[in-house]
Structure 1
């Protein structure tokens, strides 16, 4: 046997060995669980190609870890499909799962199953743009590795569990566009993590006042817009904070903004459609703003000149009690505050 033939045979053997080993990467328990999930979801188009003849670590929508976790399935992402089913209970059998995504599945129904509580390594939970109903599960607080929770664009109802504040690694909590009621939990002012999570609670039916305890935290981004929140929200601001985006628009918040100092790091500030009084502080001219809106409030006085406050058109300031100065009418012109103007609707 010549040298070239020997080399070719060795290469072929190595290739066959590699293929054989790769077939063994998929753990049998994970493969069985995935095939049951496929069946429970009625063989949706996005994962119809899953074939037990192939290594499940090569299947679309599936990702396996390295040798440190014995090549177990660590990610399942099923998105953009016409799935008519509920969350399969076999999801909980993917013992090493770190990422679970069911997104843009408009016919995924039912409640968020307790089987998810079995996923003790779960870090990333994204269940959005579905028709999931029921409450935000209390059991999520048991998953101490969770860093990201996105349950937006569903039909979830009930109150927000205060126990979510016990999650030590949580970085983002996204619960927008549901039917959540009740108040923002008082415990959200004492998250266990080193850095407070970004909170997105907009487009719900939350009511009551914002807990004063939230003023103790330095949130990077908060969005409480389109709710029924009322009372004082001035504690959410502070010159020493490092907030980047604050959206409290379309609520019933009522406080004097005259002495509110906003962190110079704020890039997006939206307070429109509330009952906020006072005048815009001169300190706000120090902000570098990308978006800004204080319309439909009860503000009065001259809009401070300078900074970025004049780069926005009148829409950002309209329908206030007696606000004047660019980009609104000059303060030298007497403002005719008719009863009609004073009683403009707040929304």
Structure 2
């Protein structure tokens, strides 16, 4: 037999066996669940590759564990899809990543059966039209490292039980319709570093919990565009690891001259509040790429040095009696 004949024989054999092998890699139970999901999602074109005659490990938006061949990731995003999250999603028990992203016609509440996904590490339900509360059952997902529920229409209060998730790296609850206070429990995350908090663009009210001052290892706190009031000085401190602190567009009131600015901070936005006092000279030593203290009640001269004179006048104006470059000189 010639070499070319042998090669052709192997090629034919591979072409016959490859689909069979791929199909065998797909767990039958997982495949049934995915086909049910497709049906419940009204058979969107986005999931056209979900063909019952092919192996599900090769389907779009799906990945399998290379050893167990169970579905460990389902990421459905940026498609035309009008439905609610199907209950069947909770039957993919080996999922580590679940994502529904940029699906503006995905509606309804966060599906309760998600609580069954105890292996889940990353949960992203963002840029959709989900409504209802941030469910308390999310605290049962003890392996979660990433929680992103941003850009939805979620309402109600933030469940304090989220602080029981001891592996979180960040919490994105921004761009929703959440109300009520920030839970006191959020100051008691035990992991190092503490998870970054993104709570902006909601309707949160009340005072910032004193416990948040305990989070010395947190690197991002974004509480902007809420209705928070009172003293926010507890978030400052030279021993904090903060890099981003955005408190803009609230009703916060404290003496900025008495706080110690975190040494690593690069973004500080306090605009549109009732902050008073003067700008700390510590700001000169910082490697800031954004500073905004406009629309407050600050007074005194802007310290000279560092990057403070490189910012636009708009980052400083509309204060009580703040002066010095880039504002008009002090009299």
Could you say which TM-score interval applies, normalised by the shorter chain?
A: over 0.9
C-alpha displacement at 1:128, in angstroms? Answer: 1.1
Compute the displacement of 1:262 (Å): 1.2
Q: Does 1:322 align with 2:321?
A: yes
Task: Name which of 180, 202, 205 aligns with 1:204.
Answer: 202
Q: Which deviates further from its counterpart, 247-256 or 104-113?
A: 104-113
Superposed CA RMSD in Å reads 1.4
Alignment pair present for 1:306 and 2:305: yes
Distance 1:71 1:6 in 2: 32
- The question of whether the paired residues in 1 share the 8 Å contact of 2:46 and 2:80 is answered with no
Q: Which SS does the other structure have where 1:24 is aligned?
A: helix
1:117-196 correspondence runs (5 A): 117-196=115-194
* 1:251 equivalent in structure 2: 250
Give distance in 2, aligned partners of 1:193 and 1:168: 6
Q: Does the aligned pair in 2 maintain the 1:261–1:284 contact within 8 Å?
A: no
Residue 310 of structure 1 aligns to a residue whose secondary structure is helix
Q: For the residues of structure 1 that align with 2:315 and 2:92, how far apart are their CA atoms?
A: 50
Measured after TM superposition, the shift of residue 238 of structure 1 is 1.1
In the alignment, which residue of structure 2 is the partner of 1:296? 295
What number of residue pairs does the alignment pair up? 330
Measured after TM superposition, the shift of residue 48 of structure 1 is 1.9
Cα distance in structure 1, aligned partners of 2:190 and 2:80 = 39
Give yes or no for the alignment of 1:279 onto 2:302.
no
Quote the Cα distance in structure 1 between the aligned partners of 2:10 and 2:132: 60
- SS for the counterpart of 1:275 is coil
The offset of 1:17, in angstroms, is 3.8
Q: Provide the secondary structure at the position in 2 that maps to 1:181.
A: strand
Distance change (3 Å), C-alpha of 1:47 and 1:305: same
Matches within 5 A, 1:1-347: 1=1, 5-6=5-6, 8-10=8-10, 12-13=12-13, 16-67=16-67, 70-218=68-216, 219-332=218-331
Distance change in 2, residues 1:283/1:3 (3 Å) = closer
Structure 1 residues 66-90: Cα deviation after superposition (integer angstroms, max 9, x where no partner): 11xx111111111112221111011
List alignment gaps of at least 5 residues for structure 2. none
Using the size of structure 1 for normalisation, the TM-score is 0.92
Corresponding residue SS for 2:90: helix
